């Protein structure tokens, strides 16, 4: 039986994955995942949903990559974090 094709490539389930990014903003995680994919690094996005009554403020989104891709992925994320935030006030200048 052929395997289903995924829209975005993901690491093999038997490979060792490491967490390289987490955020409470899912849209930020999607941007970072796009940066990684454009650099040829496969990643896996995981949502963490905690019960808000028991753990308020706990939750967010993680990005996992293959262990051997982690150093390059960290460099890409560090460069992304150094960029000034996109803000309407600074854009109008």
* 93: pLDDT strictly greater than 70: no
Instruction: Provide the CATH number for the domain around residue 40.
Output: 3.30.70.1530
Over range 6-18, report the average pLDDT. 65
Q: What's the pTM value of the predicted model, to 2 decimals? A: 0.67
Structural domain including 55 reads: 17-83
Q: Compute the C-alpha angle 11/12/17, nearest 5°.
A: 60
Look at residue 42 and tell me if it is in a domain. Answer: yes
In this predicted model, what pLDDT tens digit does every residue of 75-87 receive, in sequence order? Answer: 999 999 898 776 6
How many structural domains are present in the chain? Answer: 1
pLDDT digits (tens, 9 = 90+) for 38-89: 999 999 999 877 655 666 666 689 999 999 999 999 999 999 989 877 665 5
Paired tokens of 3: 């395997």
With respect to residue 2, please indicate whether it lies within any of the assigned structural domains.
no
DSSP percent split of the chain into helix, strand, coil, nearest 5: 35, 25, 40
Q: What is the dihedral of CA 59, 44, 19, 38, to 10 degrees?
A: -120
Is residue 29 included in any domain, yes or no? yes
């Amino acid at each position: 039986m052929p395997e289903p094709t995924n829209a975005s490539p993901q690491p093999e389930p038997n490979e060792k994955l490491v967490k390289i990014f987490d955020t409470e903003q899912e849209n930020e995680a999607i941007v970072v995942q796009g940066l990684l994919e454009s650099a040829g690094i496969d990643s896996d996005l995981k949502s963490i949903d905690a019960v808000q009554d028991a753990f308020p403020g706990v939750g967010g989104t993680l990005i996992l990559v293959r262990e051997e891709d982690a150093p390059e992925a960290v460099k890409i994320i560090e460069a992304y974090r150094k960029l000034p935030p996109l803000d309407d006030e600074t854009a109008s200048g």
